[in-house]
Amino acid sequence: MRVTIRDLSKMKARGEKIAMITAYDYTSAIIVERAGIPIILVGDSLGHVVMGYDSTVPVTMEDMIHHIKAVMRGSEKAHVVGDLPFMSYQADTAEAIRNAGRLLKEGGCQSVKLEGGRAVADTVNGITKVGIPVMGHLGLTPQAVNQLGGYRVQGRTTKAAVELIDDAKALEEAGAYAVVLEGVPKQLAQMITERLAIPTIGIGAGVNCDGQVQVFHDLLGLFDDFSPKHARKYANLSEIIQGAVSHYVSDVQEQTFPTDKESFSMKPEVVQELTGQHFETV
pLDDT digits (tens, 9 = 90+) for 107-157: 999 999 999 999 999 999 999 999 999 999 999 998 877 787 777 888 999
Looking at the domain 5-239, which fold is it? Answer: TIM Barrel (3.20.20)
CB 171 within 8 A of CB 124: yes
Q: How many CA within 13 A on the CB side of residue 265? A: 8
Q: How many CA within 13 A on the CB side of residue 247? A: 6
The model's pTM: 0.93
CA angle 238, 239, 243 (to 5 degrees): 115
Q: Give me the average pLDDT of each 10-residue run along the chain (282 residues).
A: 97 98 98 98 95 94 98 98 97 97 98 97 98 97 80 91 98 98 97 98 98 96 78 93 97 97 94 79 56
pLDDT at 228: 77
* Rounded-to-integer distance, Cα 115 and Cα 146, Å: 14
pLDDT tens-digit map of 76-120: 999 999 999 999 999 999 999 999 999 999 999 999 999 999 999
Q: What residues are annotated to the active site?
A: 182
Where do the structural domains in the chain lie, given as residue ranges?
A: 5-239
Task: Give 57's DSSP letter.
Answer: T
SS3 53: coil
Q: How many CA within 13 A on the CB side of residue 169? A: 9
Task: Give 177's DSSP letter.
Answer: S
